[in-house]
Structure 1
Amino acid sequence: MTNRTTHLLLTISPLALIAATPAFAQNQPVTTAPVTAASEGQQPDESTIVVTGTRRNDRTLADSPVPIDVIGGDQLTSSGLGETNKILNNLVPSFNFPQPSIADGTDAVRPASLRGLSPDQVLVLVNGKRRHVSALLNINGTVGRGSAAVDLNNIPTLAIERIEVLRDGAASQYGSDAIAGVINVRLKRASSGGRAQASYGRYVTTLDGVANVTGLALTGGQPSLDPTDGRYLAVTTDGERKVRDGDLWTIGANLGVPLTSSGGFVNLTAEYRDRDATNRQGFDIRPNYARPTSTTFDPREITFNRINFRYGDAKTEDYGFFLNGGLPLDTAGAEIYAFASYNKRDSESAANYRQQSNGVTGAGGANRDYSTIAPNTTPSVANFTPLTPDGYLPLIQTDLKDYSATLGVRGEIAGWKVDGSTQYGKNKFDYTIADTINASLGTASPRVFDAGGIGYGQFVTNLDFSREYQAGFAKPLSVAVGAEFRREDFQIRPGQLESYIAGPLYRAPIPGSNLAACTTAGGVLSGTTCTFPGRAAAPRSQGFGGFPASARRDVSRNNVSAYVELDTDPLPGWTTTVAARFERYSDFGTSLNGKFATRFEISPGIALRGAISNGFRAPSLQQQYFTTVSTNFISGVAVDILTLGVNDPVAQRLGAKPLKPEKSTNLSVGATLNPMRGLTVTIDGYQIKLKDRIVLTENLGASSNAATDTLARALINDTSIGAARFFINGLDTTTRGIDVVGNYRFAAGPSRWTLTAAYNYNKSEIDRRIVDLGPLAAASNIVLFGRVEGIRFEKGQPRDKVVLSADGRMGAFGLTARTTRYGKVVSPNTATPISAPTSLDAYGPDDVFLSPKWITDLELRASPVKSVEVALGANNLFDVYPDRLAFGPRPASVGGVYPVTQAFLPYSNFSPFGFNGRFLYGRVSVDF
C-alpha cells in the first residue's frame, strides 16, 4: 500500500470516532450460554456468525466483506487421515500440504501454505488468540523452505468446534504473519455430553510404475550390470510392488462438564494417535558392496535386502490434551475463561542409506575405517575396511513437546466490552540420531547420538475494548481498540561432542606447505597444499549432525502494538471495515499498517466486495539465529551444508546483513451470489505484492556457479564443510489468483444434502532478485537465489485446485464423497539447462513436471442406535500416485543419465497430495 493510502486510512479512523462520540453505548453484556455437544455439530451455513476478520459479534458468513471458509467439526472428524493439515488440504482449495520425506525434522512437522505463500505468512489463532509457532525451521529443499510455522497437527480434531479460514491480508487487525490470511481454530464449548471415538486404518496400495524386483539376474552364479545403465544391477521383476503398511490407530474423547448451576463449563479433549511408518521406496538395485575385482561381485549382493530406505510418512506416536473453559463472574455477563493444551510427539524417520561401499575411494567416506591406513595412503578397494558389514540407515528420532495456556477475563466497563488475556506457549524439539556413525571417530564412534535440541516460546498479553454507537448509520458503529505485548524466545541446545566433531580420522589440508613439512606431517603434497587422503573420513553423525557448541543460543525479543478497528453499515446493504495497527519490535523497529474492506449488496442475493490493505511479517528468531550442519544429497553426492544465523562471523564474511521485515500490499475484489434458497456462490480475485521476502541463499560452495563456489569455500575456511547458507531479504514477488466457492444445501424427501464446488487458481512470480553482493561481489554472475529455488518458488505448488464434494444424511445413514483435482507442479532438479546453463528460468534435463491428478475420497456412515455411529471409508479410493520419476539413460536427444536415486526414490517430494496411495479405514463413535 502507498503512503497516501495508509494516510487515508488513518484519517478515516479518528473522523469516524469523532462522529460517533455524541451517541450512546449499546449495553450488550457477554453471556456464557449453555452449549451442548449436539448443537456444536451443526453444519455451518451462510447464517453462521463469524469472528475472524471482524470484532463485531453479529457479522454472518453471508455479509462478510472478505472471503472466509468455515469448516465444521463434523467435516474434520469425517475422515480417516487423523491429521488436521491433511484434512484441510482436502477441503480448502487455496490450502496446500505436500508431505515430503527424507527431510530431517520436516518429516515430523510438515509445513502447509495458503494461497501459495510461505507457511509462516499465514497467522494461526486459537479462540481468536495468537498461537505460537514451532521451534523447527524448515531448511530442506521442500515447500516452505526457510519457514517456521504453526503445527496444526498438534490440535486434535475432536477438540475443534470449527475452523474459520480468512483468505485475505489481516496484519492491520492481528499483526505480523497475517499476509496470506488467518486460520482461526475455535475450540468446543459444550458444557454437557461428549463423544468417544476410535479409528483404525492402513494403506492398501500398489506403487504405480515401481517394479517388484524378485531377484538379481545371474550369469554363472554372478550378478551382472544392467546393459542400459551400468550404475545398476540387472534384475528380474514381476509386476508392480504392492504394500500394506502405515497402520494408524486413533483413540480420542471429548467431554463437556458444567461448572456451576448458574453456568460455566469445562470442555476436555484427549487423543492418542499411533502411526506406523510408510515406505514407498523402489528397490535399490545399485551394487551395495565393494567389488572384489572389476569382474566379480560380492556374493552378498544376491541376498541383500534392497528395501533399505524409508521413503514416506515417519513413524509417530502422539498424545494430545486440550482444555477449554469459561466461568461467569456475575449476572452482568462478565466471565473468566481459559484454554490450554499439551502435546507430545515421538517420531522416527530416516536419512539416506549409507552403502557398505561408501568410502571405497575416500573423499568423505561414511563407512570406511580410515584407522587401517596411513594418512598419506590413497584409499582403494584393496585397502578398504568397512565400519559396518552391510552399510546403515541413519534414523532421526525427534521428541516434540508442545504446551500452552491462556487465561483471560471479559466483561463490560462503562459501556465498553473488555477482554484481557495472558498466554504462554512453548515448543521444544530434541533430536536423537540412531543406527549411525561419526566415521571420523572410526571404531570408537557411538551408534546413537544426542544431537541437541531447539526451543521456541511466546508470551502474549493483550487488552481489547469494543463498543457500539448509534451514529445514524444503518447499523451501529462498532469501535474496537486494543494493545498487545509479545515476547518471544528461541534456544539451541548443543548435542553431545561426538555428534558434531571432526575426529582424528579427518584431517584438513594444510595450505602453503612444502615437501619437507608435508612429509613430516605424514601427508601428500599437492602443489603447495599438504593433503591427507588417508584421513578423509566424514565428520559428524551421519544423517543429522549435532548442534555444535558454537550454535548455543538463548535469544529473545519483544513487541508492543496497538490497533483501532471500525465496522458498520453506513447504508442498508453496505458494509465497511476500517483498521489500522502500529507495531514496534525491539530488534528491527516499527511498522504501521491499515486496511479498508467493504461489501455492497446491489440487489437481494447479489453483492460486490473488496479489500485493500498493507501488511508485514517480522523476521523470525529462527531465521535470524538458527545454526546447524546438515547433510544434503546434491546430484546424488552427500554435501555437508552449514546453515548460519545472520550475525554469525562466517555468514558476515559471506555478506550476511540484519534482516528487515517483509512488507505486503493486498488487494481483493469479489462478488457473492445467493440466486436461490440454499445456493451461495462467492468469487474473489486477489493480488498480493511482497517486498523484501526472506529466503535462504543458495548453498554457497555447492551451487552451479563455479566462481561463486570457489570464493565462498575460501570465505567459509573449513574444508569439512561443503557449503554454507543464510537468510537474506532476497525477493520481491507478486501472487495473483482467484477463488470460486459454491455451496448448495437442499432436502430431497427424507434426506438432506450439501453439495460443494470450489476452485482456486494461484500464480506467484518473482519480480526482482535482490543481490546485495558484499564480499562475494568478486565472483562473476553471482546468484544468491538461483534457478532451482526460483522455479520451486513459482511453480512448486499447484497452479490450480478443484474440490467437488457431496455430504448427505438420510435417517440412520450418511455419506461423504469428495474428489479433488491437484493441478500441475514443477519440481526442478540441480542439472543446469543444456542450452542455457546460466539461465534462471529455463528448464533443465532432470526437471520433473507432475501432471494434474484427481484424488477421490469416500465415507459411508451408519447409526445402528441413536448414539452410535460406524463409518467405513477410503482416502484416495482409486489409488492414484504422482507421476513416476524417470531413471536410467535420458532420451538420446538430451544425452546423459537421470539422477541415480530416481530408480528407488520414485516420487517427487513436491506432490501436493503426497505419495502414499490408497488408505482404508473404519471408525466407531459414541455420543453421550
Structure 2
Amino acid sequence: MKFRETASFAALAVALGLMPAPALAESAEAAAGESGDVIIVTGTRTLGMNAADSPAPVQILTSQNLESTGSPDLMQTLAQSLPTIQAQAFGSDLQAHNLQMKLRGLSPNHTLILINGKRRHGTANVSIAGGPYGGSAAPDMSFIPAAAIGHIEVLQDGAAAQYGTDAIAGVINIILKDNDYGGALSGTAGQYMDEGGDTYSLSANFGFAPIEDSYFNVTVQKKKKGFSFRGDVDPRVYGDNPVAASNLAKYPDVVNQDHYPYVNRIMGDPEIEQTTVMYNAGYRFGDFDLYSFGSYGHKYARAYENYRTPGIVVAADGTPFYPTGFSPLEAVRETDYSVTGGIKGMFGDLGFDLASTYGDDFVGVYVENSANASLYADTGFTPTEFHDGDFKATQWTNTLDLTYPLEIGLPEPVNIAAGLEWRRETYGIVDGDPASYYGSGAQSFFGYAPENAGSHHRTNFSQYLDISFKPTEAWLVDGAMRHEHYSDFGDTTVFKLTSRYDISDSFAVRGTVSTGFRAPTLAEGFYSGISVGPNSVGGVLPANSAAAASLGFGGLKPEKSTNFSAGIVFNPTPRLTMTLDAYWIDIRDRIMITSSFYGFYGKYCPEDYAGTNAASCVAYNEDTYNIYNQQAVYDAVSSALGGSIPSYVLLTDGQRNMDGTVRIQTFANGADMRTRGVDFTANYELPTDIGMIDLSLTANYNENKVKSVADLPSALYTSTVDPAATAIINKYTVWQLEKSTPKFRAALNAHLESDRFSVNLRESYYSRVSALETTPGNSPLAGADLVVPVKAAFITDAEIGYKVTEGIKLSIGANNLFNKYPTKRSYENIRAAQLASGSASYGTNVYPTISPYGINGGYYYGRVNLTF
C-alpha cells in the first residue's frame, strides 16, 4: 500500500509539474473534450457564449462525466468530479438523511442551485449541527436523477447580482435533457468491500414528440441503499470493565441482541429507499417556446441511533421493556416536488423569458424500535414507533428576464439584460404525537411539542440590470446590479463587475469584483427544538423568538460578502486548455449555531450548598458556577416553555438534582470569515490508434479563516478567567470552520473511448484535515484538547466498460479502489480510556466523520446500459 501511495504521489507531481500551479477551473468536460465549444447559459446573460470565452470560471460536466463516477447519488458525483466541492460524509440525527455539500468550504446555503436556470427550492430539514454544515437548508440533490441531466454548469464565482443575493460561493446550474426521441435504461448494483452499503439503482430516460415541434423527456429512478457499519464493540455490554460487568449481571439477555457485541450501529450509512420522476417538456411555435419541467420524489430513510441498554426503559417493578436492549431508528418519510412553467421567445430583437416555479418539501419525522421511558414507568405502556412531527417548506418564484442587443458602433452589440423576480417562501414545524414528547420523550429523538410548532412566511421582490459590451474586439466588460426587498429584512443592493481581455488567440486574463447579501433562511430564523426530559431541558431557541431576544440576540441579520477573483485562460493548442483563477471572499455576520448556554447545571453547586448530595458537587469555583447557572438563560427557557421549568429537572427528593441541566442554543450572526484560494483546470485531448484519450487535471487550494467572533450579548455571562470558554461560537466550531476542508485537493482523470471499450481512471488527492476534541477524563491527557487528524490520502477510482452491441454496454468499477480508510482516532489518548470506562463513545469513535472521502472504504459496482 505504501508503494501505491508513493507511485500515486509521483504521478500527480509529474502532472502538476507539466502545468501551471494549482488554481481555478473552467470547462471540465473531461470525458467529451468539447467543453470549449459548449454554449453556456450560466455566468453570462449574453446569448450564444462558448465556455472557452467566458469572463468567469465555469466548469462543465457532461452526462458521460456523471455516469462514469458509478454513484447513483448526484451530490457524491459532483464531489468526486470537482475539487472545490466537498460532500458531507456523515450526519448526526436527521442530517443522516439529508447530507449536504459545500463549495469552497463555505456553507451549503452559499451555493445557488438552478434547474434549467430556475431557482431550486431548499429542504425543510435544516441542519442544527455546528461547523460548516450548520444551518444548511440547501436543496436535496438526491431528488435529481443523474439520468435526467444533459450537462451541469458550475459557476465558481460570486454571482449574487446576477442570480440572487445568496449566490456567494457560486452557482450550480443543472441543464436537463431535451431529447425528443430515443432513450436509455440503466441498472447499477454495488456494495462496500468490508460491510454493507448494498446499493441498487434502476433508471429509465426516454424522449418523444407528442406533437410536431415539441419534446417531452422523462426520467424515472428507483434506488435503494442499505445500512453500513464502521463502529466497534460496545463496552457497556462487552469486555473487562465495571460497566459491562454490571449490565451483564443484571441483564444477561443482552448477549442475544442483534449483532452482539457490535450493538451500537450508529456509525454508518442509513438505509434509504427513494423513487423520483423528472420531466422536461417544450413546444415551439414561431418565435416562441412554451416549456415546463418538474420533479416528484419520495424518500423513506432510517438511521441507527445509539444503542440503549435494558435498564433505560423499565416498568415500575424494574422489569425492562426490551430485555436485550434496543437500537432506535430515526426515520423520515419525505415528499418533494417542483414544477416550472414558462414561455420565452423574441419580439424582434427583444428576448424574453417569463416563468413561474413552485417547489415543496415535506419531511415526516419518526422514531422506530424505541420507547418512552417515562410513559412506560408511569402507565405500564409505551408505543414502539412515534411520529415526532413534521417539517414543511415551500417556495414560489416568478421571474421575467429580458435581453436586448443595442448597436452603438462597438465591435459587437451591447447586450442589455434586465429582469424582475417575486418570491414567496414558507417554513413550518408541525407537532408530533403526544407520546413522542411526554416526560422523557421518545428514546433517541424527543418529539416536537406544540410550543415548537409554527408556520412562517416571507416575500422577496428583486430587479436586476446587466450590461455586457466589448470596447474593443479583445476586451469584454460585464457589469450587473441587483436590488432586493425582503418583507422581513428590508432592502439591499449588490453589484458585480467582470472583465476579460484576450491578449492573443491563446491567452486571456480575467477578473471579477462583486458583493453579496444572504438573508437568513426561514428555518435558521424560526427552527424550534426545545425538549424536556426527566433530568434536562434543552435544545434550540428560535433566533427570532422573544426568548432569544431576552438574551440579547435580537433576531438574525443578513450575511454580507465581498468577492474578488483574477485569473488567466491559456489555450496554446486546439487540444489543450488551461485556466488559473485566484479568489478572495470576505463574509461578515456569518450565521451559525451558537455554543450551549446554561441556566442550570446541578453538579456545579453554589458555595454554601449543604444538601445531602453536596459531596457530588464539583469543587466550588465562582466563575464556573456563573457559567453554568445563568439566571437570564433560565428565564429565557422558562418563558419558551410557558413560564416554568419542571421541578423534577431541578430537584430530587427536595435536593438539588446533580444530573439536572437547563441549556439552550440558537442561531446567531456568529463570526466574520475570510476564504481565499486558487483553482486550476487543464484539459488535453490525446489521439491514439485505439481511440481518443481525454485527460484532465483539476486542483484547488482553499483556506478558510475565522477573522473574528461576534461579541457575546451583555445579558449572558462572560467568564472572568477564560472569556473563550463563554464565546458565542466555541473553539471547536471555529476549528471545524477552518480545518475540516482540505486545503489542497486535486483530481487527475483519464478517459479512453474506443469502438468497443471505455476506460475511466481518476486519482484524487486530499490534503490533511482535522478536528479538535477533548480527551476523556481517565486518559493520559485527561480533559485536554487534542487534534484529531485525517491524514492526506490518494483515492483511486476506476471503471471499465464494454459494448456488447451498439446499444448495450456493460461496466464494472470502483470508487476508492484500494479501500482506503481515514486515520483512526488515537487509541492511547481517547479510545483506550473509553474502553476502560465502558463508555458508549468507544464503539462510535473509530473514524473522524470529517473525512473528506468518507468512512466506508471502497465501493464496487457493476452497471448495464441500454440505449435506443
Q: TM-score, normalised by structure 1?
A: 0.80
Once the 2 structures are TM-superposed, how far is the Cα of residue 707 of structure 1 from its aligned partner?
Answer: 3.1
Once the 2 structures are TM-superposed, how far is the Cα of residue 79 of structure 1 from its aligned partner?
Answer: 2.8
Helix, strand or coil at the partner of 2:61:
strand
1:914 aligns to 2:854 (yes or no): yes
Letter in 2 for 1:689: D
**What is the match of residue 367 of structure 1?**
313
**What is the match of residue 823 of structure 1?**
767
1:332-351 correspondence runs (5 A)? 333-351=287-305
Once the 2 structures are TM-superposed, how far is the Cα of residue 120 of structure 1 from its aligned partner?
Answer: 0.4
902-911 vs 265-274, greater mean Cα deviation: 902-911
**What is the match of residue 396 of structure 2?**
459
Q: Provide the rounded CA distance (Å) in 2 between the counterparts of 1:641 and 1:797.
A: 30
**What is the match of residue 428 of structure 1?**
362
Structure 1, unaligned runs of 5 or more: 1-38, 206-242, 358-365, 373-383, 503-538, 838-842
Once the 2 structures are TM-superposed, how far is the Cα of residue 423 of structure 1 from its aligned partner?
Answer: 1.0
CA contact (8 A) 1:482 1:562 kept: yes
1:251-262 correspondence runs (5 A)? 251-261=202-212
1:89-238 correspondence runs (5 A)? 89-101=79-91, 103-141=92-130, 143-205=132-194
Letter in 1 for 2:818: F
Q: Provide the rounded CA distance (Å) in 2 between the counterparts of 1:44 and 1:276.
A: 38
**What is the match of residue 783 of structure 1?**
727
Once the 2 structures are TM-superposed, how far is the Cα of residue 264 of structure 1 from its aligned partner?
Answer: 1.4
Q: Provide the rounded CA distance (Å) in 2 between the counterparts of 1:427 and 1:76.
A: 25
Q: 1:313 aligns with which of 269, 278, 293?
A: 269
Q: TM-score, normalised by structure 2?
A: 0.86
Query: In 2 relative to 1, CA 857–292 (structure 1 residues): closer, same or farther, beyond 3 Å?
Result: closer
Once the 2 structures are TM-superposed, how far is the Cα of residue 648 of structure 1 from its aligned partner?
Answer: 2.7
CA contact (8 A) 1:544 1:630 kept: no
Once the 2 structures are TM-superposed, how far is the Cα of residue 260 of structure 1 from its aligned partner?
Answer: 2.4
Query: In 2 relative to 1, CA 705–585 (structure 1 residues): closer, same or farther, beyond 3 Å?
Result: farther
Helix, strand or coil at the partner of 1:89:
helix
Q: C-alpha offsets along residues 152-185 of structure 1, whole Å, 9 cap, x if unaligned?
A: 1210000000111100000000113200000000
Letter in 2 for 1:581: R
Q: Provide the rounded CA distance (Å) in 1 between the counterparts of 2:831 and 2:113.
A: 47
Please state which structure has a larger fraction of its residues in helix.
Answer: 2
Query: In 2 relative to 1, CA 387–260 (structure 1 residues): closer, same or farther, beyond 3 Å?
Result: closer
Structure 2, unaligned runs of 5 or more: 1-28, 602-622, 639-644, 650-660
Once the 2 structures are TM-superposed, how far is the Cα of residue 294 of structure 1 from its aligned partner?
Answer: 11
Helix, strand or coil at the partner of 1:176:
coil
Q: Provide the rounded CA distance (Å) in 2 between the counterparts of 1:869 and 1:444.
A: 57
Once the 2 structures are TM-superposed, how far is the Cα of residue 98 of structure 1 from its aligned partner?
Answer: 2.4
Once the 2 structures are TM-superposed, how far is the Cα of residue 542 of structure 1 from its aligned partner?
Answer: 1.4
Helix, strand or coil at the partner of 1:652:
helix
Identity of aligned residues (%): 31
Helix, strand or coil at the partner of 1:499:
helix
**What is the match of residue 654 of structure 1?**
551
**What is the match of residue 69 of structure 2?**
79
Alpha-carbon RMSD:
2.9
Query: In 2 relative to 1, CA 779–497 (structure 1 residues): closer, same or farther, beyond 3 Å?
Result: farther
Letter in 2 for 1:252: S
Q: Provide the rounded CA distance (Å) in 1 between the counterparts of 2:397 and 2:706.
A: 35
CA contact (8 A) 2:97 2:270 kept: yes
1:566-715 correspondence runs (5 A)? 566-629=467-530, 641-701=538-598, 707-711=626-630, 714-715=634-635
Q: Provide the rounded CA distance (Å) in 1 between the counterparts of 2:117 and 2:126.
A: 25
Query: In 2 relative to 1, CA 301–832 (structure 1 residues): closer, same or farther, beyond 3 Å?
Result: closer
**What is the match of residue 329 of structure 1?**
285
**What is the match of residue 415 of structure 1?**
349
* Count of residue correspondences: 781
Once the 2 structures are TM-superposed, how far is the Cα of residue 570 of structure 1 from its aligned partner?
Answer: 1.9
Query: In 2 relative to 1, CA 89–491 (structure 1 residues): closer, same or farther, beyond 3 Å?
Result: same
Helix, strand or coil at the partner of 1:260:
coil
Query: In 2 relative to 1, CA 388–650 (structure 1 residues): closer, same or farther, beyond 3 Å?
Result: farther
319-328 vs 76-85, greater mean Cα deviation: 76-85
**What is the match of residue 52 of structure 1?**
42
Letter in 2 for 1:341: S
Q: Provide the rounded CA distance (Å) in 1 between the counterparts of 2:211 and 2:272.
A: 39
Q: C-alpha offsets along residues 409-439 of structure 1, whole Å, 9 cap, x if unaligned?
A: 0112253101100110001110111111221
Once the 2 structures are TM-superposed, how far is the Cα of residue 604 of structure 1 from its aligned partner?
Answer: 2.2
Helix, strand or coil at the partner of 1:774:
coil
Q: Provide the rounded CA distance (Å) in 1 between the counterparts of 2:197 and 2:831.
A: 36
Q: C-alpha offsets along residues 901-920 of structure 1, whole Å, 9 cap, x if unaligned?
A: 14443111111111111111
Once the 2 structures are TM-superposed, how far is the Cα of residue 259 of structure 1 from its aligned partner?
Answer: 3.0
**What is the match of residue 514 of structure 1?**
none
1:547 aligns to 2:448 (yes or no): yes
Helix, strand or coil at the partner of 2:442:
coil
Q: C-alpha offsets along residues 344-396 of structure 1, whole Å, 9 cap, x if unaligned?
A: 11101121111234xxxxxxxx4344x34xxxxxxxxxxx5534212211111
Once the 2 structures are TM-superposed, how far is the Cα of residue 667 of structure 1 from its aligned partner?
Answer: 0.1
Helix, strand or coil at the partner of 1:472:
coil
Letter in 2 for 1:166: L
CA contact (8 A) 1:890 1:897 kept: no
Q: Which has the larger radius of gyration?
A: 1
1:858 aligns to 2:858 (yes or no): no
Letter in 1 for 2:827: F
Q: Provide the rounded CA distance (Å) in 2 between the counterparts of 1:909 and 1:639.
A: 27
Once the 2 structures are TM-superposed, how far is the Cα of residue 767 of structure 1 from its aligned partner?
Answer: 1.0
Helix, strand or coil at the partner of 1:847:
strand
Query: In 2 relative to 1, CA 416–870 (structure 1 residues): closer, same or farther, beyond 3 Å?
Result: same
Q: Provide the rounded CA distance (Å) in 2 between the counterparts of 1:639 and 1:67.
A: 51
Helix, strand or coil at the partner of 1:62:
helix
Q: Provide the rounded CA distance (Å) in 1 between the counterparts of 2:301 and 2:848.
A: 22
Q: Provide the rounded CA distance (Å) in 2 between the counterparts of 1:658 and 1:673.
A: 48
Q: Provide the rounded CA distance (Å) in 1 between the counterparts of 2:844 and 2:591.
A: 34
Helix, strand or coil at the partner of 1:698:
coil
Q: 2:749 aligns with which of 800, 805, 808?
A: 805
Query: In 2 relative to 1, CA 294–606 (structure 1 residues): closer, same or farther, beyond 3 Å?
Result: closer
Letter in 1 for 2:135: G
CA contact (8 A) 2:594 2:666 kept: yes
Helix, strand or coil at the partner of 1:793:
helix
Letter in 2 for 1:709: Y
Q: Provide the rounded CA distance (Å) in 1 between the counterparts of 2:70 and 2:84.
A: 22
**What is the match of residue 329 of structure 2?**
395
Q: Provide the rounded CA distance (Å) in 1 between the counterparts of 2:430 and 2:748.
A: 47
CA contact (8 A) 1:474 1:572 kept: yes
813-822 vs 622-631, greater mean Cα deviation: 622-631
Q: Provide the rounded CA distance (Å) in 2 between the counterparts of 1:339 and 1:130.
A: 12
Once the 2 structures are TM-superposed, how far is the Cα of residue 573 of structure 1 from its aligned partner?
Answer: 1.9
1:461-610 correspondence runs (5 A)? 461-502=398-439, 539-610=440-511
Once the 2 structures are TM-superposed, how far is the Cα of residue 858 of structure 1 from its aligned partner?
Answer: 0.5
Q: Provide the rounded CA distance (Å) in 2 between the counterparts of 1:888 and 1:812.
A: 53
Q: Provide the rounded CA distance (Å) in 2 between the counterparts of 1:631 and 1:792.
A: 29
Letter in 1 for 2:576: L
Once the 2 structures are TM-superposed, how far is the Cα of residue 653 of structure 1 from its aligned partner?
Answer: 3.1
CA contact (8 A) 2:69 2:80 kept: no
Query: In 2 relative to 1, CA 346–313 (structure 1 residues): closer, same or farther, beyond 3 Å?
Result: same
**What is the match of residue 231 of structure 2?**
281
Query: In 2 relative to 1, CA 671–604 (structure 1 residues): closer, same or farther, beyond 3 Å?
Result: same
CA contact (8 A) 2:541 2:664 kept: yes
Q: Provide the rounded CA distance (Å) in 2 between the counterparts of 1:774 and 1:474.
A: 60
Q: 1:875 aligns with which of 815, 827, 851?
A: 815
Q: C-alpha offsets along residues 839-893 of structure 1, whole Å, 9 cap, x if unaligned?
A: xxxx954431111111111000011111111101111100000011223556999
Letter in 2 for 1:246: G
